[in-house]
Amino acid sequence: MNKIVPKEHHNYLAFFLTLACNLKCTYCINVHGSVSRSEQAHRNQLSTDEWVKAANRLVLRDDLPLTLQGGEPTLHKGFYEFVNGVKPDIRMDLMTNLMFNVDEFIANVPVWRFIREAPYASIRVSYHPGQNDIEDLIAKTEKLQNAGFRIGLYGIEHPDQQIRGHILAIQERCQKLGLDFRLKEFLGEHTGVMHGTFKYDGCVSGKTDRTCECRTTEIIVDPSGQIFKCHADLYSERSPIGHILDDSFSADSIDVFRPCDCYGTCNPCDVKIKTNRYQLFGHTSVEIRNIQ
C-alpha cells in the first residue's frame, strides 16, 4: 500500500484499538456528550492483521510515535500479536489504566518497542481514584520500570479539594519512590462550573447552534479503521474523513479545513491549550475558523 508520511507539524498519531474499558469513571472524557460506553465498546474492530497492515504503512519521524489508546488498548484480543507484528522501526506509546497482567506484558513485549527519546514516558498510566487501586498501580509501575520500560503515572487536578489533596499526596509519595507522577488539567463540568483552558469561546458550551470550519494536527483512527478530524467525531462515529486501509489516504488528507455544524460540543481534548510532543505549552490539537 502507499505509505503514510506525517508532516513536521503533525503532532500526534493514535490507533484506538478498542473503545472498551474495564473502568467506569463518571468523568470519562471519551463519553463527553451523549455517546454511551456500550455503543463505543461494541463498535466494529479491525482484525489484528489489518492493524498490522495499517501500522506498516506508516513512515514516522523519531519524535512521532504510534500511540495505542482506547478505551483500554490492551483489551484488544490481538494486542501482543499486534505489538510484535509491526515493523521494527515503528516506536510506540501506550495510554493505559494498567489493569492488566504486567508479568504477561513483560514476557510478551520487547522493551525497545516502547523506548525512545522524549521528555515524557512512553507508557502513560492514568490513575482514577475509586476505580483503579493506587497500591496496585505503584507495584505494577515499579515492576515495569525495573524491567526496563519507561513508564509514568498521571493524575487529574480535580476541582474537588478532597480528591485533589489525595492526588497531590500520591504524587509526592511516587516521587519519593523514584516514580514519575504528573498532573493533567481537569476538563469538563463539575458542580455547574466548566473547567479547562480552552482556545475558542463557547467550544464546549454544549450548544450546537453554531457552525465553523476545522482542521486537525492529528491522525486519529477508531477501532474500525476510520479516521476522524477530531475526538468528538471519533467518539460519536460522526463524519469520518477516510480509512486507514484506503490506499488513497495520505497525510495530506488531514490538512484540509472541513465544515462542521457541531461547534459547541467539541471534545475538550481537541480544543484545550496544552503542551505539544516536545512538552512546550501553547499547542491546540485543532484549528477552528469562521465560527458562525
Find out whether 84 and 110 touch, Cβ atoms under 8 Å: yes
Nearest of 83, 101, 103 to residue 93 by alpha carbon: 83
Which three cell numbers, joined as nine digits, stand for 143?
A: 515492576
pTM: 0.92
Name the CA dihedral angle for 174, 175, 179, 182, rounded to a multiple of 10 degrees.
90
Amino acid at 250: S
The pLDDT value recorded for residue 39 is 61
Amino acid at 202: G
Q: Does domain 12-195+218-255 have CATH number 1.20.210.10?
A: no
Q: What is the DSSP letter of 164?
A: H
**Torsion angles phi and psi, residue 139, rounded to 5:** -60, -45
Find out whether 83 and 92 touch, Cβ atoms under 8 Å: yes
d(CA 173, CA 179): 9
d(CA 70, CA 41): 10
Chain centre to alpha carbon of residue 200: 21
The pLDDT value recorded for residue 22 is 87
The pLDDT value recorded for residue 161 is 93
Residue by residue, pLDDT tens for the chain (292 residues) are 899 999 999 999 999 999 999 887 776 766 655 565 556 656 789 999 999 999 999 999 999 999 999 999 999 999 999 999 999 999 999 999 999 999 999 999 999 999 998 999 999 999 999 899 999 999 999 999 999 999 999 999 989 999 999 999 999 999 999 999 999 999 888 888 889 999 999 999 888 889 999 999 999 999 999 999 999 999 989 999 999 999 999 999 999 999 999 999 999 999 999 988 888 889 999 999 999 9
- First vs last C-alpha separation in the chain: 40
- Would strands 218-221 and 12-16 be described as parallel, antiparallel, or unpaired? parallel
d(CA 245, CA 102): 31
